[in-house]
Chains A and B, each alone.
Chain A
């Protein structure tokens, strides 16, 4: 249902019901025109008005507490509207939108000490909103890291910061402070890491690291609690923040503008000084935002059409998209941009018949990717996937232009080539191009039981049957499906319940899925078990194939330590190696995020970082609102 970027996880938060999945992405037809006029007459974008967004469910998975929240759309809200991290993005579409820029930091420094020390200077005059009403200092960033290191807060992506010197000791309670983060003065902060981390700057743009006033956050040490009290450091604040009585922990009652089951309202933060920000990053044109839960998805899109809402977080249902994209008068109000996610089918490298690379290649050849994409709603909802990490994560690279090692006519699968590959496999005993060993039948195939995932099951079943692989389908709700595929001992042989999005614009955030050292007995996300060792197999009590399991651990280590162009080239090579030699996946689609805009929208952009609408750059014309 909702199209959110955090890949598997984002969708996970969304749960339930048939609906449409969202996704984002760019592509096709009118990509590239970023400052899009939503309205048909192109009225000049001006300040004022309330920008209203309907959604069937917020889907927060960390209670909207920035320390733990891992939902793409929540990141969108923080970074566009609410909180200002040291680094950030321009909140625009395409390559410009994923280039790291300084936000509260004066500039992005070059690391020193062999890439292990990062010294940031903070801008002056950045203020917390009411009721805190004071300047944001370097100590407020330290507070954020201390929360990340507090176990009871459950920082879901805290692992990105475990290489900061002293984080371990702080977590274990042996140190009261994080020794690797120091604040020589109120406007300087220094990070020391245990090893060079090429993408550390990106990690400081993630919302968990945004400034937190200890006088408020100290009252909230349990997972998700601070979500009802988020103090603004950006252009907007949660409505009612000024009424928050922060004199003591006891007097604080949840801010009235946020009801997790109904509505999230934001108004201008009176303490925000645009001079400390850049319009390139945030224009902050509307006077406020309203995010409204409306469980009736059809009604949301009716309301957008009528001018009662401006936008939705949910993906546009295919039937609405069809109507708009075939009507010249309405076409411009339908947006579709790549959201840097990959939808993929994984194959278990430890299980027959997928322990044979030829079988895995045959599956790649035979898969009807076009039909899979149709299950999602067609080209508006995604580009055909031909490699692992989406192209946006290889900025400037032309390596993947036209790249498709398993190309077929209309992307409908190439049976002849699939049979050829199958013939080379040990599971095709009579060499007729069809899998005929015993392990080719009753293959356990896992999928989600919600739309549109369920619609892919018949396609996958039919495609696999063409090369003799007969599956038994298991369909589970999103959560259980996620848990089931993450439990190695379940020995799921092939699955389509997966979808992965970037955390930040670096291919490493995809390649972690192939790191054999990351395989966990439960909660595993390396579903293909790439790089599993015999020892691990024994530990998980699963069979280990005679021919072994291919590994790319060494490649990952090499690339992760590299920087600059070398880093990019390294990831490109690994991506290709995975596609051509290891073949753990059938990446069938790079997802797109779709948006339908109301008639009052005069300016709109897509935020490539979060894979959602760029609220920092939208505008409405109140006279056209209903």
Chain B
């Protein structure tokens, strides 16, 4: 197990390196142009463009820039570790803002996750137990509806209804918890709901599928044959086996969502990582783009490792073998 984890961590490092390398290629080699001109005022002179290049480190060759980026990432820079440099756009150090925005995104993801687990698991379990019932059909129909609805559309629709028409909730934007817990909550409620509805639908379908699978497995039949009470069979075996994959699934989803809430953040004006990445990538703010990319790639890899470990530890079918 230990060696496996080490190997996977090394793989994570490799992934981060490759992903950043690809980012470099896509944003620096592929486009034809001179990014320095974007940061050199409205009527730059050749000298000014050169100054900007030097100040942004763009005067060096691309491999050299990439090497420098990796070096700073590993050894840190004047703003701390890991070294992420300064934004081309607003000239501020990337690291503090990354932390600040990561908080917003994590707030969104965690709150959403709690909500979708709270909805998705019970719905899935009940649907499985009452397979074929009206309840099952309605639940699964609703689930399919939310799986099919584009998040940005649901978001706009909910804003229209709950903010503009009913006035129950304030509009978009992020208010920090410290500033006002109540406002923070009311601003996060809609984004949480919209994100959670999609995932709750997915999770309900997954849990239901798992449960149904498990119910037909031999050992469950054996348990029943041994005369265990229905309640015990359901609680001890079916539920446990049916739900454990959800935990690993959750780990993967959380990882992917770190960089995957661009649309939700855009619709709800949340100043999180996704929103930042979108702006930075569209305007070639390379240090910001790279910083978020590193974080996202690392989050995906590490959490998928966590998922694998959890999977091995939790799934009885794996253990029984």
Do chains A and B make direct contact within the complex (CB under 8 angstroms)? yes
- In the assembled complex, B23 has its CB within 8 A of some CB on chain A: no
CA of A261 to CA of B52, assembled, Å: 23
On chain B, the residues within 8 Å of A487 by CB distance are 32-34, 37
Q: Which residue of A lies closest to B35 (CB)?
A: A483
Contact B42 A296 (CB under 8 A): no
**Closest CB of chain B to A147's CB: distance in Å?**
13
Contact with B172, one of A9, A16, A58, A296 (Cβ below 8 angstroms): A296
Name which of A133-141, A156-164, A370-378 contacts chain B.
A156-164
- In this assembly, does B65 line the interface, its C-beta being within 8 Å of a C-beta of chain A? no
Contact A261–B100 (Cβ < 8 Å):
yes
CA distance in complex: A17, B275 (Å): 10
Output the nearest chain B residue to A294 by Cβ-Cβ distance. Answer: B173
Indicate whether A477 reaches chain B with its CB closer than 8 angstroms: yes
B279 touches A15 (CB 8 A): yes
Cα A525 to Cα B271 in complex, Å, equals: 32
**A60-B90, A227-B91 are contacts. A15–B282 as well, Cβ < 8 Å?**
yes
B54, A295: Cβ atoms closer than 8 Å: no
The answer to whether the Cβ of A490 comes within 8 Å of any Cβ in the partner chain is yes
Evaluate whether A152 and B35 lie within 8 angstroms (CB atoms) in the complex, with A6-B42, A70-B42 already known: no
- Minimum distance in angstroms from B190 CB to a CB of chain A: 12
B66, CB-defined interface residue at 8 Å = no
Are A512 and B43 touching (Cβ within 8 A)? yes
From B173, B279, B284, name the one whose CB has the most chain A CB atoms within 10 angstroms: B173
Tell me if B46 is interfacial: C-beta within 8 Å of chain A.
yes
Q: Does A523 contact B (CB under 8 A)?
A: yes
Q: Which of A10, A260, A483 contacts B37 (CB 8 A)?
A: A483
A508 to chain B, nearest CB (A): 12
Task: Mark contacts of A56-94 with chain B using CB atoms, 8 A cut-off: 1 yes-contact digit, 0 otherwise.
Answer: 001011110100001000000000000000000000000
**Pairwise interchain contact A296-B171, C-beta atoms closer than 8 A:** yes
Shortest CB-to-CB span from B279 to chain A, Å, is 5
A302: Cβ under 8 A from any B Cβ? yes
Q: Is A473 an interface residue, CB under 8 A from the partner? A: no
* Secondary structure of the A contact surface, majority rule: loop
- CB-defined interface of B91-111 with A at 8 Å, one 1/0 digit per residue? 110000100100000000000
CA distance A302 to B167 in the complex (A): 12
Asked whether A482 is an interface residue with its Cβ less than 8 Å from the other chain, the reply is yes
Contact with A along B23-54 (1 / 0, CB 8 A): 00000000111111111111111101101101
Report A1-44 CB contacts with B as 1/0, cut-off 8 Å: 00000111110100111000000000000000000000000000
A294 to B170, CA, bound (A): 13
Contact B171 A298, beta carbon cutoff 8 Å: yes
Query: Are A12 and B46 closer than 8 Å at their CB atoms?
Result: no
Chain B residues, Cβ within 8 Å of A525: 42-44
A522 with B33: in contact, given A9-B41, A152-B55, A154-B52 (CB under 8 Å)?
yes
Say yes or no: B171 contacts A154, CB within 8 Å: no
Contact partner, A480, options B31, B44, B51, Cβ 8 Å:
B31
Say yes or no: A152-B54 contact (C-beta < 8 A), given A227-B91, A479-B284: yes
CB <8 Å contact, A261 and B42: no
Taking the complex as formed, is A432 at the interface, i.e. its CB lies under 8 A from any CB of chain B?
Answer: no
Q: For residue B100, which residues in chain A have a CB less than 8 angstroms away from its CB? A: 261
B266 touches which of A7, A17, A156, A512 (Cβ 8 Å): A17
Q: Which residue of B lies closest to A477 (CB)?
A: B282
B89 pairs with A15, CB closer than 8 A: yes
B269 touches A223 (CB 8 A): no
Nearest A-chain residue to B172, judged by Cβ: A296
B142 within 8 Å of A (CB atoms): no
* Contact assessment for A154 and B97 in the assembled complex, using a CB-CB cutoff below 8 Å: no
In the assembled complex, the CB of A141 is this many whole angstroms from the nearest CB of chain B, namely 22
Q: Verify B283–A15 contact, CB threshold 8 A.
A: yes
Q: How far is the CA of A63 from the CA of B86 in the complex (A)?
A: 11
Chain A residues contacting B44 (CB-CB under 8 Å) are 156, 520, 523, 525
Q: Within the assembled complex, what's the spacing in Å between the Cα atoms of A151 and B32?
A: 26
* Contact residues of A between 146 and 203, Cβ < 8 Å to B: 151-152, 154-159, 162
Are A7 and B42 within 8 A (Cβ)? yes
B174 interfacial contact with A, CB 8 Å: yes
Q: Given that A159-B45, A487-B32 are known contacts, is A482 also in contact with B55, CB under 8 Å in the complex?
A: no
What class of interface size applies to chain A in its complex with B? 35 or more
Interface of B, helix, strand, loop or mixed by DSSP:
loop
Complex Cα–Cα for A483 and B49 (A): 12
B38 and A299 contact, CB distance less than 8 A: no
Residues of B in contact (CB 8 Å), total 43
The interface residues of chain A lying within 8 Å CB-to-CB of B52 are 154, 223
Instruction: Please state if A522 and B97 are interface contacts (CB–CB under 8 Å).
Output: no
CA of A283 to CA of B272, assembled, Å: 40
Q: Does A256 contact B (CB under 8 A)?
A: no
Q: Are B170 and A299 in contact (CB under 8 A)?
A: yes
A210–chain B nearest beta-carbon distance, Å: 18
Residue-wise interface mask of A (479-493) relative to B, using a CB-CB cutoff of 8 A (1 in contact, 0 not) = 110111011011000
Known: A12-B38, A15-B282. A260 touches B90 (CB 8 A): yes
Interface flag for A518 (CB, 8 Å): yes
Q: Is A474 an interface residue when CB atoms closer than 8 A count as contact?
A: no
The reply to whether A483 and B92 form a contact with Cβ atoms under 8 Å apart is: no
Q: How far is the CB of A164 from chain B (nearest CB, A)?
A: 15
Nearest-CB residue, chain B, relative to A297: B269
Q: Does A119 contact B (CB under 8 A)?
A: no
Whether the pair A16, B282 counts as a contact (CB closer than 8 A) is yes
B174 pairs with A62, CB closer than 8 A: no
Are B49 and A522 in touch, CB under 8 angstroms?
A: yes
B183-200 vs A, CB cutoff 8 Å, 1 = contact: the mask equals 000000000000000000
Asked if A530 CB lies within 8 Å of chain B CBs, one says: no
A8 to B40 CA separation, bound complex (whole angstroms): 12
Q: Convert B156-178 into 0s and 1s, putting 1 for each residue whose CB lies closer than 8 angstroms to a CB of A.
A: 00000000000000111110000
A413 within 8 Å of B (CB atoms): no
Is A522 within 8 A of B34, CB to CB? yes
Instruction: State the CA gap A533–B300 with chains docked (Å).
Output: 54
**Chain A residues, CB < 8 A from B282:** 15-16, 477-480
Contacts of B271 in A (CB 8 A): 261, 295
Judged by a CB distance under 8 angstroms, whether A253 is at the interface is no
User: A531 at interface (Cβ–Cβ under 8 A)?
Assistant: no
Q: How distant is B55 from chain A, measured CB to nearest CB, in Å?
A: 5
Contacts of A6 in B (CB 8 A): 42
Which residues of the other chain, A, contact B86 by a CB distance below 8 angstroms? 224
Hey, which chain B residues are within 8 Å of A490, CB to CB? 32-33
What residues of chain A lie closer than 8 Å to B40, measured between beta carbons?
A: 154, 156, 523
Q: Which of A295-310 contact B (CB under 8 A)?
A: 295-296, 298-299, 302
Asked if A624 lies at the interface with its beta carbon under 8 angstroms from chain B, I say: no
Q: Which residues of B contact A483 (CB under 8 A)?
A: 33-35, 37-38, 284
When C-beta atoms are compared, the residue in chain A nearest to B163 turns out to be: A298
Task: Determine whether A124 belongs to the interface, using a CB cutoff of 8 Å to chain B.
Answer: no
Bound CA span A547–B39, Å: 36
Contact between B91 and A63, CB atoms less than 8 A apart? yes
Question: How far does the Cβ of B302 sit from chain A's closest Cβ, in whole Å?
Answer: 27
Interface residues of A (CB under 8 A from B): 6-10, 12, 15-17, 58, 60-63, 65, 70, 151-152, 154-159, 162, 222-225, 227, 260-261, 294-296, 298-299, 302, 477-480, 482-484, 486-487, 489-490, 500, 512-513, 518, 520, 522-523, 525
10 A-B pairs with C-beta separation under 8 A: A16-B278, A70-B41, A156-B40, A223-B91, A224-B86, A260-B90, A480-B282, A480-B284, A487-B34, A512-B43
For the A-B complex with A154-B51, A487-B32 known, give 14 more contacts whose Cβ atoms are closer than 8 Å.
Answer: A65-B91, A70-B41, A151-B55, A154-B40, A155-B48, A261-B97, A294-B173, A296-B269, A302-B171, A480-B31, A480-B38, A483-B33, A483-B35, A522-B49
- CB-CB nearest 4 A-B residue pairs: A224-B91, A9-B42, A63-B91, A523-B37
